[in-house]
């Protein structure tokens, strides 16, 4: 019969069950702590305006942006160095979704909000950081060019070039443009084959003067992200007429250049290849040959590292936002999934062991979140009329601290979040694996954990007594929290941590001065982590005292249950260094 013949082609049955997927909700309305913090830090009228903008933006993330970010991951950039006829074309192909994301960044003012002179410095930076935080996990890494764009504006303004220097002024105006078709973005080319941490030791790029401020650059930039940018800040060594250049940090100067001219031709640059990376696959990161790229010097000669540090200090805050936003996103999805996934006859959410796992992730994430908002507050204060030199000095310390701590915490935490989805967490089509892949870059780029721990020591030796300012700030936070009796234990633990840190740091510095085989740098990471954890403990206490909510209180208590300070005097000693060497190199044949 006809039915019999047709049934030969029936669809295979794959069972009647399909697991409901986790649902992304408006990330602003999904995050009560963000709202509470904004309410606490902002004047009421500003809060109302910003809250409205964030709520609208959160809807846009769900309805439009998240899918664009996903498509950017699926349609990765590629490079065609030559055309079919053998002409060198260096044609970089990015997907339309990537370009659209960059336009949305301009339209939404993700960078320009931070520079809106009509709004007070504190308010505008808080709004910007909140917006970036919501955007980041859906942004398809367009946050990377945005970070560098912010850093470039900050650098050119700090160096006094805005309204003073034609090319810098045009650049800033384009970088802050809200017109998606006209807005520029910036790159940041520091890393070379010999070194990305030790920039001065690695820099083999040479600058030959043409006339006045104009130079031609020759070198090889090993990692250049968001290479579809319009301008870049980069470092090079000036060579004199005899071919001599100053070695080391003092030989490096800062240059600003267009990547392409008005006709779309590369400016003495060849894109040698795109990096094949573990993550950040949406982002075109190239190796570049500079062969006579025209550039203008924008720092005093030899002040390149100090100049570009302005950029680093901004991009490091953006990086911390990406780390914490990734943590928040995986928790948010895992929380939703826990109400949809049944295991052993119950919803995941009804198994206390599963909820305990999520709660632990919440505690760490909320702590890191408060630290990014502390950095945003300090950044805003330094740019506000009310800012003091103490705010700047404290920001100098908090920037490497938040970058290194959040970057380090986010990788294992997001990995735990992936596990909450079981095998599905490992499956590419769910989009979940990219959250972990993209997290792994945050402790590496913009300064690795160790390099930033050493930067914390550099911050200690600045003009201001940063260590005392840190103690002062912790005491201020604890004083704000002091009135709440349930916080007594938390406060005692933070105070105790502070005393421990003070005492070990004092002993180590004294001993190092007397030259008795003590190396403060050997313990830099332990120092940095202790500062981060003490700071977070105090911020959580302040938050709990302000809101008086049982959740904020619990989070503060739980965070301080783990040791805040893990710093032994032994960490600084030659004795420990010798033992480390023995452990690491046991049986190593070389």
Per partner kind, with CB cut-offs from 5 to 8 A, the member of ligand UCC, ligand FAD, none near residue 249 is ligand UCC
Per partner kind, with CB cut-offs from 5 to 8 A, the member of ligand UCC, ligand FAD, none near residue 200 is ligand UCC
Nearer to ligand FAD, 50 or 148 (CB): 148
Report yes or no: 206 and 175 within 8 Å, Cβ to Cβ. no
* Cβ within 8 Å of residue 154, ≥6 positions away: 310, 311, 313, 314
Residue 455 binds ligand UCC, judged by CB under 6 A: yes
Per partner kind, with CB cut-offs from 5 to 8 A, the member of ligand FAD, ligand UCC, none near residue 455 is ligand UCC
Angle at 304 between CA 190 and CA 141, to 5 degrees: 35
* Cβ within 8 Å of residue 83, ≥6 positions away: 89, 91
Q: At how many degrees (to 10) do helices 352-382 and 389-419 cross?
A: 160
3-state DSSP assignment of residue 290? strand
Residue 200 binds ligand UCC, judged by CB under 6 A: yes
Residue 147 binds ligand UCC, judged by CB under 6 A: yes
- Residues near ligand FAD, by CB under 6 A: 188-191, 195-197, 223-225, 277, 280, 285, 441, 444-445, 447-448, 450-451, 454
Nearer to ligand UCC, 146 or 331 (CB): 146
Q: Which two tokens stand for residue 497?
A: 């941590």
Residue 318 binds ligand UCC, judged by CB under 6 A: yes
Per partner kind, with CB cut-offs from 5 to 8 A, the member of ligand FAD, ligand UCC, none near residue 306 is ligand UCC
Residue 258 binds ligand UCC, judged by CB under 6 A: no
Applying CB under 6 A, which of residues 152, 199, 401, 536 lies at the interface with ligand UCC? Answer: 199
Per partner kind, with CB cut-offs from 5 to 8 A, the member of ligand FAD, ligand UCC, none near residue 318 is ligand UCC
| Stretch of 187-195, 290-298, 332-340, 486-494 lying at the interface with ligand UCC (CB under 6 A) | 187-195
Measured on CA atoms in the order 12, 14, 17, 19, is the torsion positive or negative?
A: negative
Number of residues that bind ligand UCC (CB under 6 A): 28
| Stretch of 118-126, 158-166, 193-201, 374-382 lying at the interface with ligand UCC (CB under 6 A) | 193-201
Residue 312 binds ligand UCC, judged by CB under 6 A: yes
Per partner kind, with CB cut-offs from 5 to 8 A, the member of ligand FAD, ligand UCC, none near residue 277 is ligand FAD
Nearer to ligand UCC, 112 or 188 (CB): 188
Reported as half-sphere exposure (CB side, CA atoms, 13 A), residue 44 has a value of 0
Per partner kind, with CB cut-offs from 5 to 8 A, the member of ligand FAD, ligand UCC, none near residue 224 is ligand FAD
Residue 322 binds ligand UCC, judged by CB under 6 A: yes
Q: At how many degrees (to 10) do helices 304-337 and 352-382 cross?
A: 150
Cβ 521 to ligand FAD, closest distance in Å?
Answer: 7
3-class DSSP string for 185-244: CEEEECCECCECCCHHHHCCCEEEEEECCEEEEEEEEEEEECCCCCEEEEEEEEECCCCC
Residue 319 binds ligand UCC, judged by CB under 6 A: yes
Report yes or no: 185 and 145 within 8 Å, Cβ to Cβ. yes
Per partner kind, with CB cut-offs from 5 to 8 A, the member of ligand FAD, ligand UCC, none near residue 147 is ligand UCC
Cβ 94 to ligand UCC, closest distance in Å?
Answer: 16
d(CA 308, CA 287): 20
Provide the terminal-to-terminal Cα distance of the chain, rounded to the nearest Å.
77
d(CA 291, CA 271): 11
CA distances from 563 to 457, 496, 501, 540, 559 (A): 22, 10, 12, 15, 9
Nearer to ligand UCC, 30 or 446 (CB): 446
Nearer to ligand UCC, 328 or 493 (CB): 328
Q: Binders of ligand UCC among 227-256, rule CB under 6 A?
A: 249
d(CA 214, CA 429): 49
Applying CB under 6 A, which of residues 127, 188, 299, 434 lies at the interface with ligand UCC? Answer: 188
Tokens 């910003």: give the residue.
50
| Stretch of 214-222, 447-455, 487-495, 496-504 lying at the interface with ligand UCC (CB under 6 A) | 447-455
Nearer to ligand FAD, 191 or 320 (CB): 191
Nearer to ligand FAD, 300 or 521 (CB): 521
| Number of residues in the chain | 590
| Residue 190: other Cβ atoms inside 10 A | 25
The closest of 232, 235, 201 to 217, measured between CA atoms, is 235
* Cβ within 8 Å of residue 124, ≥6 positions away: 113, 114, 115, 116, 380, 383
Applying CB under 6 A, which of residues 95, 148, 363, 381 lies at the interface with ligand UCC? Answer: 148
Residue 315 binds ligand UCC, judged by CB under 6 A: yes
Nearer to ligand UCC, 320 or 504 (CB): 320
Pairing of strands 206-211, 214-225: antiparallel
Residue 222 binds ligand UCC, judged by CB under 6 A: no
As beta bridge partners, residue 255 has 234, 297
The site for ligand UCC (CB under 6 A) is made up of: 143-144, 147-148, 188, 190-191, 196-197, 199-200, 225, 249, 305-306, 309, 312-313, 315, 318-319, 322, 445-447, 451, 455, 458
């Amino acid at each position: 019969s006809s039915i019999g013949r047709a049934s030969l082609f029936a669809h295979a049955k794959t069972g009647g069950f399909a697991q409901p997927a986790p649902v992304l909700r408006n990330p602003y309305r999904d995050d009560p702590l963000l709202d509470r913090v904004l309410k606490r830090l902002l004047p009421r009228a500003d809060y109302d305006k910003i809250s409205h903008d964030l709520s609208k933006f959160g809807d846009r993330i769900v309805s439009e942006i998240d899918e664009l970010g996903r498509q950017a991951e699926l349609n990765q950039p590629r490079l065609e160095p030559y055309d079919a006829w053998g002409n060198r074309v260096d044609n970089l192909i990015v997907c339309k979704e990537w370009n659209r994301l960059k336009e949305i960044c301009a339209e939404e003012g993700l960078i320009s909000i931070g520079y809106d002179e009509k709004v007070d410095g504190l308010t505008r930076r808080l709004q910007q950081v909140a917006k970036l935080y919501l955007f980041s996990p859906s942004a398809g890494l367009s946050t990377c060019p945005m970070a560098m764009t912010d850093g470039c504006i900050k650098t050119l303004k700090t160096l006094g070039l805005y309204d003073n220097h034609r090319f810098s002024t045009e650049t800033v105006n384009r970088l802050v443009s809200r017109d998606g078709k006209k807005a520029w973005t910036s790159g940041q080319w520091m890393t070379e084959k010999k070194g990305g941490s030790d920039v001065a030791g690695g820099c083999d790029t040479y600058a030959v003067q043409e006339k006045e401020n104009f130079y031609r650059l020759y070198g090889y930039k090993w990692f250049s992200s968001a290479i579809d940018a319009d301008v870049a800040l980069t470092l090079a060594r000036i060579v004199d007429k005899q071919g001599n250049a100053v070695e080391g940090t003092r030989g490096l100067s800062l240059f600003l250049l267009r990547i392409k001219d008005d006709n779309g031709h590369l400016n003495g640059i060849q894109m040698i290849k795109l990096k094949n990376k573990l993550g950040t696959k949406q982002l075109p990161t190239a190796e570049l040959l500079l062969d006579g790229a025209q550039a203008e010097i924008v720092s005093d000669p030899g002040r390149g590292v100090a100049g570009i540090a302005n950029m680093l200090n901004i991009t490091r805050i953006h990086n911390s936002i990406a780390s914490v936003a990734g943590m928040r996103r995986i928790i948010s999805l895992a929380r939703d999934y826990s109400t949809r996934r049944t295991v052993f006859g119950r919803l995941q959410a009804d198994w206390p062991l599963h909820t305990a796992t999520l709660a632990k992730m919440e505690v760490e994430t909320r702590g890191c979140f408060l630290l990014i908002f502390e950095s945003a507050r300090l950044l805003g204060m330094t740019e506000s009329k009310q800012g003091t030199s103490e705010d700047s000095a404290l920001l100098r310390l908090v920037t490497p601290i938040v970058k290194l701590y959040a970057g380090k915490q986010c990788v294992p935490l997001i990995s735990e979040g992936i596990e909450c989805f079981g095998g599905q967490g490992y499956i590419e089509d769910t989009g979940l694996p990219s959250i972990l892949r993209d997290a792994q870059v945050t402790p590496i780029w913009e300064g690795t954990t160790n390099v930033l721990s050493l930067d914390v020591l550099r911050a200690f030796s600045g003009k201001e007594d940063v260590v005392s300012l840190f103690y002062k700030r912790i005491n201020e936070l604890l004083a704000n929290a002091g009135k709440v009796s349930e916080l007594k234990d938390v406060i005692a633990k933070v105070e105790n941590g502070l005393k421990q840190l003070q005492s070990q740091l004092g002993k180590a510095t004294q001993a190092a001065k007397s030259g008795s085989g003590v190396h403060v740098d050997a313990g830099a990471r332990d120092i940095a982590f202790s500062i981060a954890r003490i700071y977070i403990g105090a911020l959580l206490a302040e938050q709990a005292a302000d809101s008086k909510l049982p959740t904020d209180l619990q989070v503060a208590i739980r965070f301080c249950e783990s040791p805040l300070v893990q710093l032994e005097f032994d960490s600084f000693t030659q004795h420990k260094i010798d033992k480390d060497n023995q452990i690491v190199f046991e049986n190593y044949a070389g």
